Amino acid sequence: MTRAEQKEHTRRTLLAASRRLFAAKGYGAVGLAEIVRESGVTKGALYHHFAGKAELFRAVLEEVQQEVAARVVAAAEAAADPWDQLKNGCAAFVAAGADPEVQRIMLVDGPAVLGWTEWRAIDEATSAKHLTEALTTLIENGTLPAQPVAPLTRLLSGAMNEAALWLAQSTGPDDLADTQTALSRLLDSLRAHH
């Protein structure tokens, strides 16, 4: 392995070990010594890549956010019609957010560790960006009534984040399906009626 490959391998190893620990125990219950032990690298190697635990968590959060965004985009792109793309993407977001690992890192610890402003900035660069683009297209093509996109994006994003948080705590076997149905009805109610 070249030196650059070795550095990247160490970084990936640290991210993978940290992600497992943060997802299982939560940010507050994980110490750097445990991350170092779990990843099999030295504390010096950790500090070579990350200034500390918060910076390491931020990198894990960004990775999780990008994975969720990729799942949303893949689900949306599976449909040809822009309306179906929006509905598929929103359903995929809620399903991804219901995953306990994603939920813990992205929706619970993310805002708590980084603060609301920084967490929102990361969300804006991933999920909210795709939602804004989809809604803009639907307003432009007349599927949705003409309206400002920013508040609609925030309202839908907030509803989906809250649904994902609830799903992570819920125990009902039909809760995800019921949430998907409710989300579908909510979205359908927004359509322009010609």
Query: What CATH number should be reported for the domain holding residue 169?
Result: 1.10.357.10
- Amino acid identity of residue 75, one-letter, is A
According to the model, what pLDDT value does residue 47 have? 95
Query: What CATH number should be reported for the domain holding residue 2?
Result: 1.10.10.60
In this structure, what token pair is assigned to residue 188? 């359908």
Residue-number span of the structural domain to which 156 is assigned: 60-190
Specify whether 94 is located in the same domain as 158.
Answer: yes
Q: Residue 164: name the closest of 182, 187, 188, 144 by CA.
A: 182
The tokens 């809760």 sit on which residue?
175
According to the model, what pLDDT value does residue 193 have? 78
According to the model, what pLDDT value does residue 28 have? 96
Residue 77's alpha-carbon distances to 130, 187, 190, in angstroms, are 12, 18, 21
Q: How does pLDDT run across 96-151, given as a tens digit for each residue?
A: 988 889 989 998 899 999 998 998 888 888 888 889 999 999 999 999 999 999 99
| Cβ neighbours of residue 90 closer than 8 Å, sequence gap 6 or more | 72, 131, 156, 160, 183, 187
According to the model, what pLDDT value does residue 194 have? 60
DSSP class of 125: I
C-alpha Rg value of the chain to the nearest Å: 19
Gap between the Cα atoms of 7 and 72, Å rounded: 31
The domain total for the chain is 2
Specify whether 12 is located in the same domain as 64.
Answer: no
Q: Which segments in the chain show pLDDT lower than 50?
A: none
Q: Are 47 and 32 spatial neighbours (Cβ–Cβ below 8 Å)?
A: no
According to the model, what pLDDT value does residue 67 have? 92
Specify whether 34 is located in the same domain as 110.
Answer: no
Specify whether 5 is located in the same domain as 87.
Answer: no
